[in-house]
Structures are given as C-alpha cells and as structure tokens.
Amino acid sequence: MRFTVEERHLTDVNGRPVAAPDAVSFHSREAENLDAVVRDYLVSGGAELIGDVLKFPGLQAVATVRKTGGVYTLQITPSSQRDFRV
C-alpha cells in the first residue's frame, strides 16, 4: 500500500520554532501498514520517535520525531494507488 508522509519541521536543534516556507515536505512510502511506514521513516531518516503514534480511522496516523535538524510532526495518510496517466 502507498502512503503519503507530511513532514512538518516544528523546532530547530535549539528548540526554537521553525517558520520557514520550506518547513513542510511530503514523502511517499510503500508499506504493509502504518507501523511499517513509521518504522521505515525512522530507519531511513535516522529519526527517533517521541511518544506514541496516534492512529485514526481510515489508515491515518500522527507521530512526533526527533532528527538531527530538530523536531518534526508526521501526518501519515494513504495515497491513491490508481494510475492517473492520460
């Protein structure tokens, strides 16, 4: 299954809020389920999970992670698997 991970940069390494226009990025991940998406993100990005992964109906989740650049919030949602080529 394909998921979209919205990564929002919350604070820098000094704990100050990040207010840059590029503070949000989107990543696509292939995984069996939400747990696998989070695990893959942590391993590939060298991140550490902070707290619990909050799961919602419809295969959606929110997590907070720490990376070398600061603290980030992840919003994970399923992506369409349809082929939209014309």
Q: Does residue 18 contact residue 9 with C-beta atoms inside 8 Å? A: yes
Q: Looking at the domain assignment, is residue 67 inside a domain?
A: yes
CATH assignment at residue 62: 3.10.50
pLDDT in tens, 47-78: 999 999 999 998 999 999 999 999 999 999 99
Q: Is 28 left (phi over 0), alpha (psi -120 to 50) or beta?
A: beta
Q: Looking at the domain assignment, is residue 13 inside a domain?
A: yes
Q: Looking at the domain assignment, is residue 84 inside a domain?
A: no
Q: Looking at the domain assignment, is residue 71 inside a domain?
A: yes
What's the total number of domains in the chain?
1
Q: Looking at the domain assignment, is residue 86 inside a domain?
A: no
Q: Domain containing 12: what range?
A: 2-78
pTM for this one? 0.85
Q: Looking at the domain assignment, is residue 11 inside a domain?
A: yes
The torsion of the CA quartet 2, 46, 52, 74, rounded to 10 degrees, works out to -50
Residue ranges in the chain assigned as alpha helix (H): 34-45
pLDDT over 90 at 46, yes or no: yes
